[in-house]
Amino acid sequence: MSVRTKICGLSTEETVATAVRYGADYIGFVFFEKSPRSVTPEKAAMLIRQIPDHVQKMGVFVDPDNNLLERALASGLTGFQLHGHETAERIASIRETFPKVKIWKALSIANSQDLAQAPHYRGLADRLLYDARTDGVLPGGMGRRFDWRLLKEYKHPLPWALSGGLDANNIAQAVAITGAELVDISSGVETSPGIKDMDKIAQFLQAVRLL
């Protein structure tokens, strides 16, 4: 099975170049000021200029207003990853305002009841991103994982991706249990919060290629 990858939270030219060189399918930029990975639209634009067309560029947001989405989109994004409490109605409104942009809705998962929100986004989001529920300041990017067995046999209402606490050592098990065809990583390729490591990026992408 070919598993696609998203490397998230990049903020330097070197790490973007490494992710591209080792075959990332998606690269993510965080537009959330409380995050140690936060970038401005201007910085994202500079980084996105070095990314080829075949690699999708996702912006990560937490309950953004349209003004922020607009400014970030101008940097060259192809998709929005919405990681806050965005309702189905809010997603519908974002889709109407930005019809060409792919929309991923992140869901915080801690138990099987959390999956009940998933069908609400059918026909609205392009993809669901299952991530672990966190209790901290950040709703993602905490390296926290959830019980992957919750996704076993689950009938997904939409295309989806797996995230939350993934790394080069656990990715084979995560994919074997969940059947994920797209995986998303941030802190698993860092040495400390916000500091990406080029070797870890390369190792993760190579580990996925071997699956």
Residues in touch with ligand LGQLAAA5 (CB under 6 A): 8-9, 28, 30, 32, 35, 37, 60, 62, 83, 129, 131, 138-144, 163-166, 184-188
What is the C-alpha to C-alpha distance for residues 92 and 168, in angstroms, rounded to an integer?
36
What is the C-alpha to C-alpha distance for residues 203 and 45, in angstroms, rounded to an integer?
27
What minimum distance in Å lies between the beta carbon of 194 and ligand LGQLAAA5? 8
What minimum distance in Å lies between the beta carbon of 98 and ligand LGQLAAA5? 19
What minimum distance in Å lies between the beta carbon of 100 and ligand LGQLAAA5? 22
Catalytic residue among 8, 25, 167, 184: 8
Question: What 3-state DSSP class applies to 52?
Answer: coil
131 catalytic residue (yes or no):
yes
The nearer residue to ligand LGQLAAA5, 96 or 148, going by C-beta atoms, is 148
What minimum distance in Å lies between the beta carbon of 101 and ligand LGQLAAA5? 17
The nearer residue to ligand LGQLAAA5, 138 or 174, going by C-beta atoms, is 138
8 catalytic residue (yes or no):
yes
The nearer residue to ligand LGQLAAA5, 12 or 153, going by C-beta atoms, is 12
The nearer residue to ligand LGQLAAA5, 30 or 91, going by C-beta atoms, is 30
Which CB contacts under 8 angstroms, 24+ apart, belong to 171-174? 171/204, 171/207, 171/208, 171/211, 172/207, 172/211, 173/148, 174/145, 174/148
Q: Which residue reads 């300041």 in tokens? A: 137
Question: Could you count the other beta carbons within 10 Å of the beta carbon of residue 33?
Answer: 8
Bridge partners of 199, per DSSP, are none
Are 56 and 66 in contact by the 8 Å Cβ rule? The answer is: no
What minimum distance in Å lies between the beta carbon of 70 and ligand LGQLAAA5? 19
Catalytic residue among 25, 131, 167, 184: 131
Distances (CA, A) of 196 to 37, 47, 143, 187, 192: 9, 15, 13, 8, 8
Bridge partners of 6, per DSSP, are 26, 184
The nearer residue to ligand LGQLAAA5, 103 or 185, going by C-beta atoms, is 185
Catalytically active residues are 8, 131
